[in-house]
Every structure is written in C-alpha cells, then in structure tokens.
Amino acid sequence: MIEIVSEARCIECDICVKVCPANVFDATDTVPVIARQDDCQTCYLCEIYCPTDALYVAEQADGPTGIRESEVEERGLFGIYARELGWKRGKPGGTEYDPTHRLRVAQV
C-alpha cells in the first residue's frame, strides 16, 4: 500500500498520478497527494516510474502502516522495489534481465 510521497525528493512531475491504475493520487500545484490510500493495489507502478525515488509502497500492508518518512529514509527504503528488480538509477546496466525496464520508456 502506498505510504509516502516525499516532499523533499518529489520533483512534481505527476508521473505517479498518471500511471496509477487505481487513481490513488490527486495532482496538486505541488507534490501529489495520496487521496485514496485504501484503493492502492500495491502494484508498485508509482514507485517504479518515479524518477527520483520519492515514493514508498509498503509490502504486504492491509492498511496504513504509520511509517514515517524519516524511518523510510534511514532504512533506505525509497526506491527499494526498483533496486530489488536490479535497476540502477542513473547508471548503465542492471536492467538487461528485467523486462519491466520498458515501462520507463512510457513516461516520456
């Protein structure tokens, strides 16, 4: 379940708003808002598409976990799903064995 949109990391591109199949986010003049958290399908698309790793999706959460942004930062959880898939932000390689890397092309 989507837990956090980091104001410090977010560049306000609204990609998460566009890719979410459950329409969980609302676009604003600044950082997108998690408006319908209970509708989150934990598909990780928002986290995968985020170019700055500004989102945290809690694994196997049936409801809000209450995790704080500082804890997510300290534990290095921002962008963890993409890293587990083998993606390396800003570095060549790492995705050649993961077919989901093609999703990034769709954001342009």
Residue 90 pLDDT grade (very low, low, confident, very high; cuts 50, 70, 90): low
* Residue 8 vs residues 21, 37, 39, 91: alpha-carbon distances, Å: 25, 20, 25, 22
Residue 55 has pLDDT above 80, yes or no: yes
Computed over every residue of the chain, the mean pLDDT equals 85
Inter-CA distances, 15 with 34, 71, 74, 97, Å: 13, 24, 25, 24
pTM for this entry:
0.78
As a whole number of angstroms, the distance between CA 91 and CA 31 comes to: 26
Task: Give mean pLDDT, residues 8-23.
Answer: 95
